[in-house]
Amino acid sequence: MASECGNRITVSLFGASHGPAVGAVVNGLPAGEPVNTEALQRFLDRRAPGRSALATARKETDVPRFLSGIRDGATTGDPVAVVFENGDAHSGDYEALRFTPRPGHADYTALLRYGESADLRGGGHFSGRLTAPLCAAGGLALQLLARRGVAVGAHLLRVGEARDMAFDPVCVSPADFAGILKNELPVLDAAAGAAMKQEILAARTAEDSVGGCVECAVTGLPGGVGDPMFDGVESVLAKLLFGIPAVKAVSFGAGEDYAGLRGSQANDAFCVRDGAVRTVTNHCGGILGGITNGMPLLFSVTFKPTPSIGTAQQSVDLRTMKETTIEIKGRHDPCVAVRAVPVVEAAAALAVLDLLAGAGRL
């Protein structure tokens, strides 16, 4: 149902950018799971805006309030409901654009879908603001996974023409994830981060924006998780990842590069390491037939450039059906991919938790 995802552990998001609040309801979390609210807040702060020249100056209230499902620092087994009150919204910025849809945004399609009652202010329900409750839900999932030895980490693989090194597909470990957080931008190689920063600042200076790609790894995941076909690991993850605003491509392991490989190159030979079945390479990203094989799970997610840019753009006035030019005011991230890194981790954590539940491994 639209704003909801998951089979055993479901996440339902609600709210709009300039409405009273955004929030999430999570069903299916086990009871008795400790919740570290400080660690959760640190995770949420990675997504929050207003902290550097690389992100929007909008100050959002990114402190979650739990209305249900958590008591005395642990889950109760009831649905978890979390709310983020909205504030600091400049809705006046948007009314002028009501009938001249912004290119790259959902304004026009939301009007087609919902008619004039659609709340388009700040992107409405389509806004990146909805990733706040997604991260709250995912942040809880990360804590449950950590207690089961499963870690999730992501980094900027690419911004414009600047590229980070990729995770080592066989040896990636939680130590890599810790290293990422020490850099100004979330990257493995600090030099790549510096280059990305230049790309972002250059776009910002040009009143423009730039796209990016996030690579994510999940370690510690047992083999045998996932179902065949439409509830395979790829399908479950992709449905969730494509629900994140601005995501336009998802690939697993070698992904699009598979098209250029021979089978003899692409197949991951089985081997024995420390008494366990492993593969020598990991082109498949840890997934065969939709089911995990015990190797690191690897995927990447491509984000559009922020559609809101300062330069003039061509649109259509829907009242007159005449072409017109619009200029977008307001505060916008020059590269959504930066703040999307923890969002990808959150989505991955929710998907993996759901898959583990489906395999009876939670």
Q: Are 131 and 24 in contact (CB under 8 A)?
A: no
Residues 10-49, interacting with a copy of itself (CB under 8 A)? 10, 12-16, 19-23, 25, 27-28, 31-32
Binding marks (x or -) toward a copy of itself, 149..188, rule CB under 8 A? Answer: --------xxxxx---------------------------
Q: Could you tell me which stretch among 40-48, 101-109, 145-153, 174-182 binds a copy of itself (CB under 8 A)?
A: 101-109
Residues 312-351, interacting with a copy of itself (CB under 8 A)? 313-316, 318, 321-323, 337
Residues 112-151, interacting with a copy of itself (CB under 8 A)? 112-119, 124-126, 130
End-to-end CA distance of the chain: give it in Å, rounded: 25
Q: Could you tell me which stretch among 56-64, 174-182, 187-195, 299-307 binds a copy of itself (CB under 8 A)?
A: 299-307
Among 1, 92, 205, 274, binds a copy of itself (CB under 8 A): 1
Q: 12 or 56: whose CB is closer to a copy of itself?
A: 12
CA dihedral 78, 76, 13, 227 (to 10 degrees): -80
Q: Identify the CA nearest to 82 among candidates 106, 103, 97, 62.
A: 62
Q: Are 139 and 40 in contact (CB under 8 A)?
A: yes
Q: Considering the rule CB under 8 A, would residue 277 count as an interface residue with a copy of itself?
A: yes
Q: Considering the rule CB under 8 A, would residue 194 count as an interface residue with a copy of itself?
A: no
Q: Identify the CA nearest to 310 among candidates 93, 17, 90.
A: 93
Q: 92 or 182: whose CB is closer to a copy of itself?
A: 92
Q: 175 or 248: whose CB is closer to a copy of itself?
A: 248
Binding marks (x or -) toward a copy of itself, 231..270, rule CB under 8 A? Answer: xx-xxx-xxx-xx-x-xxxxxxxxxx-xxxxxxxxxxxxx
Q: How far apart are CA 361 and CA 245, in angstroms?
A: 30
Q: How far apart are CA 240 and CA 347, in angstroms?
A: 6
State the number of binding residues for a copy of itself (CB under 8 A).
Answer: 148
Q: Considering the rule CB under 8 A, would residue 88 count as an interface residue with a copy of itself?
A: no
Q: 20 or 178: whose CB is closer to a copy of itself?
A: 20
Q: Are 21 and 86 in contact (CB under 8 A)?
A: yes
Least distance (Å) between residue 74 CB and a copy of itself? 5
Q: 152 or 362: whose CB is closer to a copy of itself?
A: 362
For residue 53, give both structure tokens. Answer: 């020249």
Q: 80 or 182: whose CB is closer to a copy of itself?
A: 80
Q: Are 44 and 35 in contact (CB under 8 A)?
A: no
For residue 305, give both structure tokens. Answer: 């450039």
3-state DSSP call for residue 14? Answer: strand
Q: 79 or 220: whose CB is closer to a copy of itself?
A: 79
Looking at the DSSP assignment, which residues form a beta bridge with residue 153? Answer: 217
HSE (side-chain half, CA atoms, 13 Å) at 238: 14
Give the torsion sign (CA, 283, 285, 289, 293). Answer: positive
Least distance (Å) between residue 343 CB and a copy of itself? 12
Q: Considering the rule CB under 8 A, would residue 104 count as an interface residue with a copy of itself?
A: yes
3-class SS letters over 101-114? CCCCCCHHHHHHHH
Cα–Cα distances in Å, from 50 out to 57, 236, 333? 4, 32, 10
Among 179, 189, 302, 331, binds a copy of itself (CB under 8 A): 302
Q: 178 or 254: whose CB is closer to a copy of itself?
A: 254
